């Protein structure tokens, strides 16, 4: 295989891993820049439930269900630029495989981009995506001003094997198939079957 | 009970929850300010293994094992100011209790502060704390310049019940007992027994 083809093949594989991890994860950590005293201007990490689609209907876009009452959402209202990380450490995969959460073999994906409110048909899809995997959301307090949002990806960082982080463009990411059968985690292709 | 005493009692309880979650969690999400193109100046979320002490020997201080080759560690070398979030979503507690990861009932704790390299007797304790709970670390590549670090806490944010985030000072946090038997999660005291 020519170097160009080999490189594209490896890149496509990394993009598939990113799609796979994003679809599998039910929650993620969001980093914002804090807007409240006494931590104004400091990075701030928080936990949010996500869904990129109902099970086996992956869109690649992490959707969120947010309220302006939430502290990180208040940060986003000042600057939507943020980062979302997801790790297979939240599934049984890493534990069952004996991979430490910090090991790159316990695949984790970091998205750079921004959180944007959505409406119309995209909000309809987000609702289906989120409520099917987080049914509790349907009962969250109606007076909290909940709205649907998406993480608008500008760059994808993938840690799935030794040798440092790899980056994937949004185009490569969205072209890749999140289909589990097409994903070969660099750590061990055999283990993937245990995720069924 | 006078209001002052009641307030102090509630605060102590919140601090205990923070200590409990920090001790229970094996990994955390670290938010830094990115120092590399094309995301320079943007918040960046990443995954790290942590330990605040060997099992049942909680210090309250999250220790980390880092290498300068890691991208977030490169951010920390420019500015150590960062944020560390930990959630019971990473344990079986929330799933077994039917609490969505974004629900405050699925207790999560956010630390503000900075990551500092440590040496001497504190590094000895960090090594014991980390290697006992992350034995794989002992075999990580010897040429990567690994060092021990601590998350130096300036403020603790606790989401463990409805009504918004609560804050706890480092003094209140370190005074609290992380002892499981003394912790009453606001969500449901009965569930705590399932964490044994």
- Show residues of chain B in contact with A88, CB under 8 Å: none
How many percent of chain B have pLDDT more than 70?
86
Range of the domain at B97: 3-195
Stated as kind and residue range, the H or E segment containing A22 is helix A3-24
Is the Cβ pair B49, A100 closer than 8 Å?
A: yes
Is the Cβ pair B85, A46 closer than 8 Å?
A: yes
Q: Using CB atoms, which residue from B38, B89, B98 is nearest to A27?
A: B89
Cα separation, A7 vs A1, whole angstroms:
10
Q: A167: domain CATH number?
A: 2.30.110.10
How many separate domains does chain A show?
A: 1
Q: Using CB atoms, which residue from B42, B98, B101 is nearest to A112?
A: B42
Residue A150 phi/psi, 5-degree rounding, is: -125, 150
Note the pTM of the prediction, 2 decimals. 0.90
A38 preceded by a cis bond (ω within 30 of 0): yes
Closest CA to B149 of B75, B54, B76: B76
> How many CB pairs (< 8 A) connect A and B?
142
CA distance B1 to chain A (A): 31
Mean of the pLDDT values across residues B137-161?
A: 96
Q: Using CB atoms, which residue from A29, A33, A157 is nearest to B29?
A: A29
Mean of the pLDDT values across residues A123-145?
A: 97
Is the Cβ pair B69, A164 closer than 8 Å?
A: yes
Assign B72 a pLDDT band (cuts: 50, 70, 90): very high
Closest residue in A to B89 (Cα–Cα): A90
Alpha carbon separation from B186 to B17, B28, B90, B183 (Å, rounded): 9, 22, 18, 9
Is the Cβ pair B34, A112 closer than 8 Å?
A: yes
Half-sphere exposure of A159 (CA within 13 A, CB side): 24
pLDDT digits (tens, 9 = 90+) for A150-176: 999 999 999 998 889 999 999 999 999
Cα separation, B165 vs B155, whole angstroms:
12
- In the three-class reduction of DSSP (H, G, I as helix; E, B as strand; rest coil), residue B51 is classed as strand
The predicted structure's pLDDT at residue B129: 98
Find how far residue A196's CA is from the centre of its chain. 19
Residue A177 phi/psi, 5-degree rounding, is: -90, 130
Q: Could you tell me the sign of the dihedral formed by the alpha carbons of B50, B52, B53, B54, in that order?
A: negative
Burial label, B23 (beta-carbon count in 10 A; 0-12, 13-18, 19+): buried
Residue A9 phi/psi, 5-degree rounding, is: -65, -45
Cα separation, A106 vs B90, whole angstroms:
14
Assign B180 a pLDDT band (cuts: 50, 70, 90): low
Assign B146 a pLDDT band (cuts: 50, 70, 90): very high
Residues within 8 A of B (CB atoms), A 64-103 only:
65, 69, 71, 81-85, 87, 89-90, 98-103
Q: How does DSSP classify residue A62?
A: P
Closest CA to B108 of B125, B91, B131: B91
Chain B contact for A157 (CB, 8 A cutoff): yes
ipTM > 0.85 (yes/no)? yes
Model confidence at B97: pLDDT above 60: yes
Closest residue in B to A39 (Cα–Cα): B112
- Show residues of chain A in contact with B99, CB under 8 Å: 136
Is the Cβ pair B48, A155 closer than 8 Å?
A: no
């Amino acid at each position: 295989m020519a170097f160009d083809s080999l490189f594209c093949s490896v890149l496509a594989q990394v993009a598939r891993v990113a799609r796979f991890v994003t679809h599998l994860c039910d929650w993620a950590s969001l980093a914002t820049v804090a807007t409240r005293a006494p931590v104004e201007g400091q990075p701030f990490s928080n936990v949010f439930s996500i869904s990129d689609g109902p099970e086996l209907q992956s869109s690649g876009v992490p959707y969120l269900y947010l309220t302006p009452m939430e502290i990180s959402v208040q940060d986003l209202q000042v600057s939507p630029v943020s980062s979302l990380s997801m790790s297979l450490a939240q599934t049984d995969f890493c534990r069952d495989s004996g991979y430490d959460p910090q090991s790159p073999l316990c695949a984790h994906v970091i998205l750079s981009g921004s959180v944007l409110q959505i409406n119309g048909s995209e909000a309809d899809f987000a609702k289906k995506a989120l409520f099917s995997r987080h049914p509790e959301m349907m009962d969250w307090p109606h007076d909290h001003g909940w709205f649907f949002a998406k993480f608008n990806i500008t760059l994808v960082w993938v840690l799935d094997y030794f040798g440092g982080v790899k980056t994937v463009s949004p185009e490569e990411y969205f072209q890749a198939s999140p289909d589990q059968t097409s994903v070969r985690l660099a750590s061990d292709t055999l283990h993937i079957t245990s995720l069924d």
